[in-house]
Structure formats: structure tokens, C-alpha cells
Amino acid sequence: MFKFGYVGVVGRTNAGKSTLVNSLVGEKVSIVSPKKQTTRQNIMGILTKDNYQLVFVDTPGIHRSKNKLDRFMMKNVRSAIAGVDVVLYIIDGLRYNEEENAYIKTLTDSVPTIVGISKVDAGSYEKIYPIISSLSENRDIKAIIPFSSYKNKNLDEVINEILKILPEQESKNFEFDEDMYTDKSVRFMVGEIIREKALLLLNEELPHGIAINVVKFEEKENLVNIDVEIICEREGHKSIIIGKGGKKIKDIASKARVEIENLIGKKVMLECFVRVRKNWRNIESEIKEVGYVDE
Ligand SMILES: Nc1nc2c(ncn2[C@@H]2O[C@H](COP(=O)(O)OP(=O)(O)O)[C@@H](O)[C@H]2O)c(=O)[nH]1
Ligand SMILES: [Mg+2]
């Protein structure tokens, strides 16, 4: 017997969703950072075993909309929930807020929902019991699982609970090739890796206004030439990204290059340029231009 299903991974920003999807899939599907709103659009992470295939849809965190990019991200969350067989709602084990229960209720009313409590490696169990007891009031939650992606704790349990919900199938109706682990192109992954390094190396406020545009991706026999634009909102930001004597942008590029070479398995020549596009997060055409396109 076989099982196949889509699992929507939702929850507040920074809860640990992308880290969990990467751990479950065993590949880096989605970039991770301590900054809010690191994930901007739905990304599929695909886990295939002999008798099941699970497609995790990693989503941007739930948050209030301030601009058009925010609204694009929330639309992504809603569309992820609409099309899935199971929702995996992630609560940040270090930062639970009872207000989340109401949102979880809207989920359990429409989709089979499992709740995961993240980061148990960093918090104490005394902190987790009250979360579990507060959640237990909602009897429609299929399972409540404290877990740690860092310590690989209870991840099997997460998979088992998902499998319990999915119906058995006579034949292997897997929708994706067995060696595929994401729906995104290499080109997209390249942009995301550069954005991750920029998020890690730039100061707090700046990264939210950044986008990456891969303008050239030229694959030769044993080398790939890649040109990217790092797009920012102001001239002042441009000089911060470039840094003194170009140090910052070199640092971003060299860290990204190592990871891109691992991904592609070839030597990479990477050129990064910085371009200012004023207020791009509020201009529909600009949001599309940098790759955030409604499907
Ligand atoms: N201690 C601990 N921290 C984690 C764990 N998983 C994620 N984090 C951290 O939480 C932050 C947000 O993670 P991320 O996966 O990007 O969250 P997302 O916004 O929900 O996708 C990052 O700084 C991660 O390093 C975990 O299992 N244990
Ligand atoms: Mg994320």
C-alpha cells in the first residue's frame, strides 16, 4: 500500500517551519535566518520513501500586511492551506501566544491539522506542558508533537502522524519524480542562497527591502557563469550592501558561491551588482519583475 499527500506547513514567522522542512526532506529546500519573513513564497520540499511521498509546502509566516509584498506572502499562505491534505501548524516553543489558538481553530474547522511545538532543544519541558494543555482544549487537533529540528527529535513522530491521516492507495500515485526534492528551479535556488547570505550579513532593517534577480545563468561544460542584481530601495542602502571598498558584497558573494557550487556540482563564476528600485515592494510590476509571480 502507498500513501501520497500535500502537507501545508504554516505558523508565525520564525517559528522554525523552513528548518523543519529542510530536516524532514534532508536537503536545503528553503533558506533560514533569524530575521522575520525570510521565506517569501511557497516552496515545496518533497520526501520520497519506498511506500510514500509527502510534499511539504513551506509558506511565508503569518503576519500583518503592511505593503503589497506582504499581501503577496499572505496570499501564498492561504493558497497553501486551500490545496493540501494535512496542515502542520508550527508553534514556536520559545514564543507561544494563546492568540494562536483562534487561528488554529479556523484550520481544524477545514483541514486535518497537526500541531508541532518547535525548538524543544532550547526550552524546558515545563514551558511546553502549559502549551499542550492550552491546545488540548481543541479536540479537533489530530496530534500535538513537541520536536526539535536541530536535535532530530520526534521528527519520525511528525511523519507518522501525517501518514495516519492520509488514505491508503493501491498504486504508487506519486506526483513527483522520486529523485526530485523541490519544485523550484536551480536558478530560483541560486537567488535564494544569495538572499540568505545577504540576510545573514546585513543589519536588521535592510534585508526586508532586498530582492535578488538572477539576470544571467549560463551553463558551460564544467563552469557556470551567473550574474545577479541585488535590488534595494534606496541609494543609501546600496552603499551599505557594497560596503567599504566593496567588502560586504564580496563577502555575500563568496559565501553564496561556495553553497551554489555544492548545489550545482560545478565551478561557479558569480558576479553581483546592486541596483536601486525605489519602493519596489509597493509596485506590482516590480514585485513580479523580481520573481514574485502569482501562480
Ligand atoms: N534552538 C532551535 N532553533 C531553531 C530550530 N529550528 C529553527 N530554529 C531557529 O529559528 C529561527 C527561524 O527559523 P526558520 O526555519 O527560518 O523559521 P520560519 O520563519 O518559521 O521558516 C532561525 O534562527 C533558526 O535557526 C530548532 O530546532 N532549535
Ligand atoms: Mg521560513
Is residue 239 pLDDT above 80, yes or no? yes
- CA–CA separation, 237 vs 85, rounded Å? 42
Confidence of residue 284 (pLDDT cuts 50, 70, 90): confident
Residue-wise pLDDT for 155-187, tens only, equals 999 999 999 999 999 999 899 999 899 998 899
Q: Widest CA span of the chain, in angstroms?
A: 62
Q: Is the pLDDT of residue 80 over 90?
A: no
Give every CB contact of residue 213 below 8 A, 6+ residues apart in sequence. 191, 228, 229, 231, 275, 289, 290, 291
For ligand 1, mutation pick of 17, 22, 29, 32 (most atoms within 8 Å of CB): 32
How far, in Å, from the CA of 34 to the mean position of ligand 1? 7
Higher local confidence (pLDDT), 228 or 60: 228
Q: Which domains does the chain have, with CATH numbers?
A: 3-165 (3.40.50.300), 186-289 (3.30.300.20)
Identify the residue whose C-alpha is closest to ligand 1 atom 6. Answer: 16
Residue 79 has a pLDDT of 76
Q: What pLDDT, in 10s, does the model give residues 196-213?
A: 999 999 976 677 789 999
151: cell is: 536535535
Dist CA 99 CA 104 (whole Å)? 9
Among 37, 99, 27, 25, CA closest to 65? 37
> Atom 19, ligand 1: which residue's CA is nearest?
14
**pLDDT at res. 227:** 96
Buried b (16+ CB within 10 A) or exposed e, 163-196: bebbeeeeeeebeeeeeebbebeeebbbbbbbbb
* Residue 104 pLDDT exceeds 70: yes
**pLDDT tens digits along 255-265:** 999 999 999 99
Residue nearest to atom 10 of ligand 1 (CA): 16
pTM: 0.88
